[in-house]
Amino acid sequence: MITSLNENLIFYDRQDAGIKLANKIADLQLKDVVVVALPRGGVPVAKPIADKLKAQIDIMVAKKIGAPGNPEFAIGAVTSHGDYIISSYFEEEVNDNLDYIQEKAQELISECKLREKQYKENLNISISFNHPFSSKTILLVDDGTATGMTALAAIKSIKRQKPKKLIMAIPVISKEAYEEISSQIDQLIALKIPDSFIAVGAHYTNFTPVTDEEIKNLLCGDL
């Protein structure tokens, strides 16, 4: 694990965070790497990393599952590869609302698959959902996380495809998410693990939303 617990570290924007991560990761001398970004925010972080490593960049769309009656409160997450996870903190809610969870998960999985296909249209990136990461070193990238739910769902999908190695690189992460995620992958590279985590955007000067057009341009190499 490589971490920098610099409480004063502030990233100018996602690209700046990606450059800082890329400089850390380059020292690992990884081979046969696929950089997998979690859109939207993970793509501008992942692009400088993929460029530095001269690696293929890919994406995996993930969405959070909202609680019954309170969709803004996340209790789990799904991915475009058909997997979903529910936080262990909400086992009682799951047992009481199993039909809702299963229906909502399938609805969101379909949305994620469609969104991923839209991102990849006309790009030299496979839209197949069948083992594109097998036997590769996968570097999963996001712009930051408090709960880690979307990352954990992506990790489940990637591990099912039997990569040679699974690493996550992230600019900023809560202590709780760090502990949970690091226990499930080979390595977690984080630049900042704050003692008190408020929001991902608090660690950036410029944290404007990433548009779909920006993502397509980044994946095409236009930015």
What are the domain boundaries of the chain? 2-61+123-220
Closest by CA position to 39, among listed 223, 217, 210: 210
Q: Which residue has the higher pLDDT, 97 or 165?
A: 165
Q: How much is the pLDDT for 126?
A: 56
Mapped onto helix, strand or coil, the DSSP state of residue 209 is coil
- Backbone phi and psi for residue 18, each to the nearest 5 degrees, phi listed first: -65, -40
pLDDT at 216: 86
Query: Which pair of structure tokens corresponds to residue 24?
Result: 């850390």
State yes or no: pLDDT of 129 exceeds 60: no
pLDDT tops 80 at residue 92? no
Q: What phi and psi values does residue 23 have, to the nearest 5 degrees? A: -65, -35
* Tens of pLDDT, residues 24-60: 999 999 999 999 999 999 999 999 999 999 999 999 9
Would you tell me the crossing angle of helices 14-26 and 42-53 to the nearest 10 degrees? Answer: 30
Decide: 71 and 49 in contact? Cβ < 8 Å.
no
| 2-61+123-220 has CATH 3.30.70.3400 classification | no
Task: Please name the helix (run of DSSP H) or strand (run of DSSP E) that holds residue 56, with its range, or none.
Answer: strand 56-59
Structure tokens at 45: 């972080």
pLDDT tens, position by position, 155-194: 999 999 999 999 999 999 999 999 999 999 999 999 999 9
Least confident piece of the model among 6-20, 43-57, 142-156: 6-20
Output the pLDDT for position 125.
60
